[in-house]
Copies of this chain bind each other. A is one copy, B any other.
């Protein structure tokens, strides 16, 4: 490693996904654009902060908090939105979301509480901000009901504070990005093994606040299941639950804050269940000519106790785009891992089941092959989306979950109806791909990618039309508005229709009790 690599941090993009140096260059943008008929002749320029109208902050923090708060225009711009396509498109067209007046970086619970106190007494909205990777409008401010907006960036609180090797648990500050917390667990031989697609650019607190779905395709996968205790600073006081492996004492306090998306309080730390690093791994890819039979194969595997860590089904378009298959097959990627013992028998049993449903083991399974191709493409996808956005394409990714009886018709309806909506909005042919990211004995979580050349300058309007169609299809098929991307502001229409009304009453009352001034992430989950 050169000294330069040690000392120069990689720069994050203020408007797009990830690192600046990993973003597609103009040539790659053009190559991506060539995949989609009707895109622009040349990429839109990378937007610059200097071109934004970043006004003066409407409020000034008190001297006691001044050291935690900044108003640098670039920093404020980088905290104006998350990283949904809609956010990228707005930035590319020079119309980003409302830029926060201030960015605060608290260093501890006391600072968070003090900032909330000040904000509450001054009508300042507070938007908790972790890695800023929200793809649902979860970290911006919309409207004008507040005097000012403070983005509360938690990433200065990024330490693993304590490790309990006996109970395999770790107390971790909420602002730790995925790699930051894994780096601190590694010397203990431990890992959280929560690897969402956003892993590099999202924080523990963000995962907890949005009930993120992780690495495991089956069994315990949602961050909820790895949560032993939470510490949450609310305007009404700090909630600290006990470290417990399990408890039956009333409704779970943690489960109210998990998924609260910054509306009830600010999660500042958590005791998380960690585990030994796996020592045994085995994987295989299977090709299917018939997608319906592939679905049956996945369901058969999900209803055993084999518990694959990976069990991703890619439809033909998804397999083609990621390089996992070139012949129009659907591809099932199976992976097993264990710190206990060999997993070859479990893999063999799952492969047998898949074969019973028409699967053929892909030739080059052992090495990189389909498995490796998929993994590389997986991490690169958000960057490619931004490349497509620069070519004027509209790209929407949305995910859901439904019981198995509804899955085939749901996927068919999304392909047909959302594809038709994208075409109607643009006059261009649209691509709709699907993969299953997580599977359960009782259902599955399909993830859809829609791409179409936009109407130049009206990409956000096109996206809104596609999103409305998607929300409508999901609702008619009783498929959840989100499996793991969260609700944010973009999913409110679907969420409001899906949520049982008495639960809405209860949640609103809880919000009133914990956030009496209504300053926490206004517009998310509740009005």
Contact = CB atoms under 8 A, between A and B. Distances in A.
A63 interface: no
A501 interface: yes
Interface string A366-409: 00000000000000000000000000000000000111110000
A527 to B, nearest CB: 14
B256 A506 contact: yes
Interface residues of A, number: 96
A442 B248 contact: no
Contacts of A482: 247-249
Given A237-B501, A305-B339, A340-B306, A250 B261 contact: yes
Given A166-B405, A273-B441, A244 B480 contact: yes
Among A232, A338, A486, A507, the one with the most B-chain Cβ atoms within 10 Å of its Cβ is A507
Nearest to A256: B251
A61 B509 CA distance: 32
A444 B246 CA distance: 8
A275 B276 CA distance: 30
Contacts of A228: 403, 442
A484 B245 CA distance: 12
B242 A498 contact: yes
Nearest to A263: B250
Interface in A489-509: 491, 495, 498-503, 505-509
B260 A251 contact: yes
B401 A442 contact: no
A84 B514 CA distance: 36
Given A256-B256, A256-B503, A506-B256, A245 B168 contact: no
A275 to B, nearest CB: 7
Interface string A194-226: 000000000000000011110000010010000
B244 A503 contact: no
A222 B499 CA distance: 24
B442 A168 contact: yes
Contacts of A303: 168, 275-276
Contacts of A273: 441-442
A212 to B, nearest CB: 7
Among A345, A444, A485, A503, the one with the most B-chain Cβ atoms within 10 Å of its Cβ is A503
* Minimum-distance CB pairs A-B, first 9: A245-B443, A506-B510, A509-B509, A245-B440, A509-B513, A239-B500, A253-B503, A255-B255, A239-B502
Given A306-B340, A441-B168, A502-B232, A480 B513 contact: no
Nearest to A261: B250
A439 to B, nearest CB: 8
Given A242-B498, A259-B252, A514 B506 contact: yes
Interface in A459-493: 478-487, 491
